[in-house]
Structure 1
Amino acid sequence: MTAEAREAGPRTDPAADGERPLNIALLTYKGNPFCGGQGVYVRHLSRELARLGHRVEVIGAQPYPVLDEGYDGLSLTELPSLDLYRQPDPFRTPAREEYRDWIDVLEVATMWTGGFPEPLTFSLRARRHLRARRGEFDVVHDNQTLGYGLLGDLGAPLVTTIHHPITVDRQLELDAAETWQRRLSVRRWYGFTRMQRRVARRLPSVLTVSGTSRQEIVDHLGVRPERVHVVHIGADTDLFAPDPSVPRVPGRIVTTSSADVPLKGLVFLVEALAKLRTEQPGAHLVVVGKRPTEGPVAQAIERYGLAHAVEFVKGVSDAELVDLVRSAEVACVPSLYEGFSLPAAEAMATGTPLVATTGGAIPEVAGPDGETCLAVPPGDAGALAAALARLLGDPELRARLGRAGRERVLRRFTWARAAQGTVEHYREALARAARPAPGRAPGRRTAPAAAPGAATAGAAVPEAAVPETAVPEAAVPEAAVPEAAVPEAAVPEAVTPQAAAASETVYSESRATC
């Protein structure tokens, strides 16, 4: 929070819903707005919450979120990690002077042994930060960190968004793994999902972005159904809007693929393009994402001789991205699974006709086949090719689906609606926190009984890396998190585990890095 915001004190004007404006801490362990959906979610939700009259402080780690400027009460607080996966030196060895405390040692040790530490280590840093600022926030909103540090008393009620269970990504990666070494690396990298499952079951309020994700959170994570609430997200319909002045490029298909992973289904779209070009040689694909240098997609492009027909673009501005989508005759979402699919909503918002699979929650966004999109089964290159050929060859169908898609997004999927729905759950969380627990006298607080195997309050957490099996299911007691820095002797001299090298491939292909 900026000094100016703190000095201004709490807002006195009512919020858009006529009630007291809220001070919101919005947490995100990764905020990259150009890779994956978490940064996009934080950027647009924080803006719309500020528009509703609330004060929003985004607290995030590298890559830091990008927030929209010019909104009173919207600010960013940087809570730095060691940034171990930054480009161009992922899996780097930090210098001795970079270590600040035992959390840094835990972060490095987990990375060196092939795991992904950021959800856990960010949660521990966030816990410490929030407890030091007790009383400043009305509600804490966690964006899918699901780390042990966020259990227990944070000084304000906790609301958590789970876009979809990362266990789905894990299973798809395991299904695609061809060797036992690869499967071992995948299992180790996604080891944090065990923590996320344990934390999710203890949360009082979970928001998610679709009905499909809600059911999977119940099934995969074991969260009670009554605790999971759907708040649809959506497109920035002011930015993603039709513009007749942008010419359509004949044969252009556009898709978004933030990472070369099986989940995104890009390899099936490349295969579909090869089939399509036998009948429509002018068809070509523009992928918003990084060009892979190896793996299934790169191999498919080479195998079918499509290097000249598949273009990858990255680092484009919002305006450039919108114009790129507008210029396409067809947008495509070939994913095997999506918890929501922002690219589908954004393409539809521009009036660009959509071909999409029926994987995960995509039908919930894209709508009925033949009415607002053309729908195909996931993983079916032949069906993709047929749908793309049908749309490219029928201008009237493209125009009809484009209009209907835009109307569907305006009715159902906007960030303004998402912010309003989210605030309703903030206020429910505040009301729930104000009610005394059954059988307890108002105003009296009783410490919960320790779960079997839980750490004892006051016990010291060792300053070495904590084995996965050593982390208890219960919340970490407040006294168990030491604040002191790690002694020099506890800082390893150099990286040695071979597991880190084995996991680098998983890292480079994983959505968890976005």
Structure 2
Amino acid sequence: MTKRRPATLMLIENSPYSQDGRVRRESQALLREGWDVYVICPRAKYQRRYMNFDGVHAYQYTQREFGSGFVAYVVEYGYAMTMASLLSLWIWLRRGFQVVHAHNPPDFFVVIGLFYKLFGKKFIFDHHDLAPDMYDVRFGERARPTVAAVMRFFERLSCRIADQVIATNGSYRQVEIERCGISADKITIVRNGPEPRHFERVAPHPFLADRPEYVIGYVGEMGKQDGVDYLIRALGKLQTTRDDWYCVIIGDGEMVESLERLANDLGIGERTSFVGRVSHADVVPYLSGMDICTVPDPSNSYNDRCTMIKVMEYMAQSKPIIAFDLPETRYSAGESARYIVPNDEAKFAAALSELMDDPSLRESMGKRGRDRAAAELAWEHAVPHLLSVYRRILPGAVTSLEPVGLAPRRRDKTAKRPAVSQLEK
């Protein structure tokens, strides 16, 4: 008799499943291990409420716009919690699952995890972001101490209630031990890492293929904490000494319009292109056409502890990197990056100019980065750590199951638009 496959329920609030590279990678790894994976998340445009993504069952609710500011965030999270709670009950009654796997932000999904623990389910807290620190950085002087205290409470509660906590790097692990008060043996580090497609050698995107200038690139989100404004101001300084460059910025976020205005105000609008989000298939061709890639995230309590996935994607394509000297960025990039005193735009510009004039250094930095990414940082090296978490909380849950894909699954073919890439932290 065929043993029934174990199932996990993943919860996401800040992006659709198709746009979250880490959740997609984790889901596919669990499928290959013999798990059924159900995901509750917001729905992207041109997608249905239920979709089957290569075996992953996604139950998607409609995103609502609630504006900005503190009240809007409260309403947004309240709406997401309500939808996730209702959908989780439906999945539990119709499909069943043994694990609730919550991806933050927000940290409020612990409430759902706590409910299901009453019925014997296991709870995994996947700690993507330090939400209290992100709040402080995003709101600065407008940050409310009471809000930060509430966020720290839910962060601690998530870590303490969880059967296992997944950290993205060693810095997060320290926060979980020191700030959240949990033991080290409850934490497993599962790093972000590039997928095989990021290592593919492809021709540059047509937009970049025939450009005579040096192409400076950025791929990622454009929120307040991401520092693209530092890059724009550095380029403004670079233009005072040379004009043989062009900058391509790929991604989206709340700061795009203000960044475009800043580029125009500094007189570099014609040399700077904001491409927006691109499809998964186009990310690598754009990277292929770049000569130097940038990590302008400034030093602060949030960024100093973050692992930026864009760093490893640059490395996979053999690109030399200019970055502010942050602890986790240095850990990831190693010798593939030139490190700048944090937040110093003039030195960032000078480093760009020096690297533009040294093709042999660019090549050697790129090679060292690609070699390190392949040998140590690729996603395949993180998968065993992820699977160890599931084996620890449910030993023996997967034994001699039929391979994924043999069981009949209903696949939705109505969505005509390709999923767009979530250019993540």
TM normalised by structure 2 equals 0.77
Instruction: Find out whether 1:47 has 2:31 as its counterpart.
Output: no
Q: Which residue of 2 aligns with 1:363?
A: 330
RMSD: 3.7
CA distance in 1, matches of 2:139, 2:177: 22
**Structure 1 counterpart SS, 2:270:** coil
Q: What runs of 5+ residues in structure 1 fail to find an aligned partner?
A: 1-7, 12-20, 93-108, 434-510
Amino acid at match of 2:29: E
Q: 1:83 Cα shift?
A: 2.3
CA distance in 2, matches of 1:127, 1:227: 25
**Structure 2 counterpart SS, 1:425:** helix
CA deviation vs aligned residue, 1:440-478 (integer Å, no higher than 9, x gap): xxxxxxxxxxxxxxxxxxxxxxxxxxxxxxxxxxxxxxx
Q: Which residue of 1 aligns with 2:223?
A: 260
**Structure 2 counterpart SS, 1:286:** strand
Instruction: Find out whether 1:216 has 2:190 as its counterpart.
Output: no
Please show how residues 111-150 of structure 1 align to structure 2 within 5 Å.
111=72, 116-117=77-78, 120-121=81-82, 124-125=85-86, 128-129=89-90, 131-132=92-93, 136-144=96-104, 145-146=106-107, 147=109, 148-150=111-113
Name the structure, 1 or 2, with higher relative contact order (CA <8 Å, separation 6+). Answer: 2
CA deviation vs aligned residue, 1:196-252 (integer Å, no higher than 9, x gap): 333333223100111122223334444443322211120113344333676584321
Q: 1:390 Cα shift?
A: 1.9
CA distance in 2, matches of 1:300, 1:112: 27
Q: Which moves more between the two structures, 201-210 or 239-248?
A: 239-248
CA distance in 2, matches of 1:425, 1:83: 31
CA distance in 2, matches of 1:302, 1:187: 39
CA distance in 2, matches of 1:366, 1:112: 34
Equivalent in 178, 184, 197 of residue 156 of structure 2: 197
Q: 1:9 Cα shift?
A: 6.8
Q: Percent identity?
A: 21
Q: 1:321 Cα shift?
A: 1.5
Which structure has greater strand proportion? 2
Q: 1:190 Cα shift?
A: 9.7
Q: 1:312 Cα shift?
A: 0.8
CA distance in 2, matches of 1:212, 1:198: 19
User: CA, structure 1 residues 191+374, in 2 after alignment: closer, same or farther (shift >3 Å)?
Assistant: same
CA distance in 1, matches of 2:24, 2:73: 32
Instruction: Find out whether 1:287 has 2:249 as its counterpart.
Output: yes
Please identify the structure whose Cα radius of gyration is greater. 1
CA distance in 2, matches of 1:68, 1:211: 35
Q: 1:168 Cα shift?
A: 1.6
Please show how residues 325-340 of structure 1 align to structure 2 within 5 Å.
325-336=287-298, 337=303, 339-340=306-307
Q: Which residue of 1 aligns with 2:12?
A: 28
Equivalent in 378, 402, 418 of residue 414 of structure 1: 378
User: CA, structure 1 residues 320+293, in 2 after alignment: closer, same or farther (shift >3 Å)?
Assistant: closer
Equivalent in 72, 84, 98 of residue 64 of structure 2: 84
CA deviation vs aligned residue, 1:262-295 (integer Å, no higher than 9, x gap): x111111111111122222122221112384654
Amino acid at match of 1:374: R
CA contact (8 A) 1:27 1:59 kept: yes
User: CA, structure 1 residues 366+307, in 2 after alignment: closer, same or farther (shift >3 Å)?
Assistant: same
User: CA, structure 1 residues 130+255, in 2 after alignment: closer, same or farther (shift >3 Å)?
Assistant: same
CA deviation vs aligned residue, 1:364-406 (integer Å, no higher than 9, x gap): 2112xxx222122332212211221222111111111111111
Instruction: Find out whether 1:347 has 2:308 as its counterpart.
Output: no
Q: Which residue of 2 aligns with 1:455?
A: none
Amino acid at match of 1:317: S
Q: Which residue of 1 aligns with 2:393?
A: 429
User: CA, structure 1 residues 110+248, in 2 after alignment: closer, same or farther (shift >3 Å)?
Assistant: same
CA distance in 1, matches of 2:343, 2:366: 24
Amino acid at match of 1:420: P
Q: Which residue of 1 aligns with 2:126?
A: 161
Instruction: Find out whether 1:269 has 2:250 as its counterpart.
Output: no
The count of residues paired between Structure 1 and Structure 2 equals: 382
